[in-house]
Amino acid sequence: MANKMGYLSCLDTVKPVRDAIEVINGKWKLPIIISVMTGNERFTDIQESIPGITPKVLAKELKDLEQHQLIKRVVIDDYPVKILYRPEPYADTLTPIIDALKGWGLNHRKKIFEKE
Amino acid sequence: MANKMGYLSCLDTVKPVRDAIEVINGKWKLPIIISVMTGNERFTDIQESIPGITPKVLAKELKDLEQHQLIKRVVIDDYPVKILYRPEPYADTLTPIIDALKGWGLNHRKKIFEKE
DNA sequence: TATAGTGCTTTCCCAAAGGAAAGTGGAATA
DNA sequence: TATTCCACTTTCCTTTGGGAAAGCACTATA
């Protein structure tokens, strides 16, 4: 029997897009990845590089990103102990997404300002 | 005086990325845009093409997308009245983002399954 | 000894997101 | 007349996100 759906299936695109959104969801994950990929390693450096982020949120998001193997938490056993956050190679695979969002965001802001 | 920041600035990228995220945030906006761009026009068709979405959420997100000029609500004055949702040309500018997310999502799923 | 910095954690709170289920009003269909 | 379809709306509730502020263990510095 044929299927009786009256709509056009778009699951081929919707499903992988949702998978991606689940990993990089929320306001902060991509900004944090960008900051770490730029070279910020220390907790407070990352915090100061992202206006508005609070330490609670940063700590939580760093844990999430670690679980997804996008960044690595490195403990340096000096006195005093240092903690560094470094991008994992897998983070590089996000570059096309970041570039696309950056390009769109720049253009969007231009569009908004032209209007008003 | 020189600036005394100890962190590396990444605002050039973080700011436009945040602008983009603000427009397409949440779980549903991109799936809805994909569905409409695929050719689904009717409320129930869109709803059925996106597993798990509820009418309340769909109605709210459609309004948001209309405000951002990504889709258009068209009223057809037949008997009975029909309401169609159509993509605006501006929605096409999201294609690079959607493609990047789709590619990443497909690869991510492959990576996850290989591991387990 | 007092102060400052580091990398968080804890508590409290609020707003937004989102799910479940039922309802609604008009028009078409059986 | 009863049912169904369409495009939502309404209500209720739970979860999640996120902000403010304080605290804390440790070390270094004055």
Query: With 70 as the cut, is the pLDDT of residue B116 above it?
Result: no
**Identity of the residue in A10, A18, A21 whose CB atom sits nearest the CB atom of B35:** A10
Residue A64: inside a domain: yes
Residue A82: inside a domain: yes
Which domain does B33 fall in, by range?
Answer: 11-115
Tell me the per-residue pLDDT of B25-58, one tens digit each, with 9 for 90 and over.
Answer: 999 999 999 999 999 999 999 999 999 999 999 9
Apex A7 CA angle, A25 and B76, nearest 5: 100
Residue A82 is given by DSSP the state E
Element (H, E) at A112: helix A95-115
Q: Does the distance separating the beta carbons of A17 and B98 come in below 8 Å?
A: yes
The Cα–Cα gap between A99 and A80 comes to: 37
Query: With 90 as the cut, is the pLDDT of residue B6 above it?
Result: no
The 3-class SS string of A36-77 reads HHHCCCCHHHHHHHCCCCCHHHHHHHHHHHHHCCCEEEEEEC
Tell me the per-residue pLDDT of A48-61, one tens digit each, with 9 for 90 and over.
Answer: 999 999 999 999 99
Q: What is the distance in angstroms measured between the alpha-carbon CA of A22 and the sugar C1' of D5?
A: 34
Query: Nearest residue of B to residue A101 by CA position?
Result: B17
Apex A12 CA angle, A7 and A14, nearest 5: 80
Task: Report the nucleotide nearest the CA of residue A54, measured to C1'.
Answer: D19
pLDDT tens by residue, chain A, 116 residues: 334 568 999 999 999 999 999 999 999 999 999 999 999 999 999 999 999 999 999 999 999 999 999 999 998 877 778 899 999 999 999 999 999 999 999 999 999 887 66
Least confident stretch, B62-66, B79-83, B109-113: B79-83
CB A62 within 8 A of CB A71: yes
DSSP assignment of chain B: ------S---HHHHHHHHHHHHHH-TTTHHHHHHHHHHT--SHHHHHHHSTT--HHHHHHHHHHHHHTTSEEEEEE-SSS-EEEEEE-GGGGGGHHHHHHHHHHHHHHHHHHHHH-
Query: With 50 as the cut, is the pLDDT of residue B102 above it?
Result: yes
pLDDT, average across residues B4-33:
91
Task: Express as a percent the part of chain B with pLDDT over 90.
Answer: 83
Tell me how many domains chain B contains: 1
Contacts of A49 in chain B (CB under 8 A): 7-11, 14
CB B94 within 8 A of CB B33: yes
Per-residue model confidence (pLDDT) at position B79:
74
Query: With 70 as the cut, is the pLDDT of residue B100 above it?
Result: yes
Residue A5: inside a domain: no
Q: How confident is the model at residue B60 (pLDDT cuts 50, 70, 90)?
A: very high
The Cα–Cα gap between A42 and B52 comes to: 40
Q: Does the distance separating the beta carbons of B5 and A48 come in below 8 Å?
A: yes
Residue A4: inside a domain: no
Q: How confident is the model at residue B115 (pLDDT cuts 50, 70, 90)?
A: low
Averaged confidence pLDDT in chain B: 91
Residue A3: inside a domain: no
Query: Nearest residue of A to residue B101 by CA position?
Result: A17
Residue B49: inside a domain: yes
Domain containing A104 — which CATH number?
A: 1.10.10.10
Would you state the structure tokens that stand for residue B38, as one six-digit string?
């695929």
Choose, out of B11, B50, B57, B104, the residue to mutate when testing the contact with A (most A CBs < 10 Å): B104
Residue B28: inside a domain: yes
Q: How confident is the model at residue B3 (pLDDT cuts 50, 70, 90)?
A: very low
Residue A18 is given by DSSP the state H
- The nearest CA of chain B is from the CA of A71 a distance in Å of 15
Averaged confidence pLDDT in chain A: 91
Q: Look at residues B8, B73, B16 and name the one whose alpha carbon lies nearest to residue B41.
A: B73
Tell me the per-residue pLDDT of B73-91, one tens digit each, with 9 for 90 and over.
Answer: 999 887 778 899 999 999 9
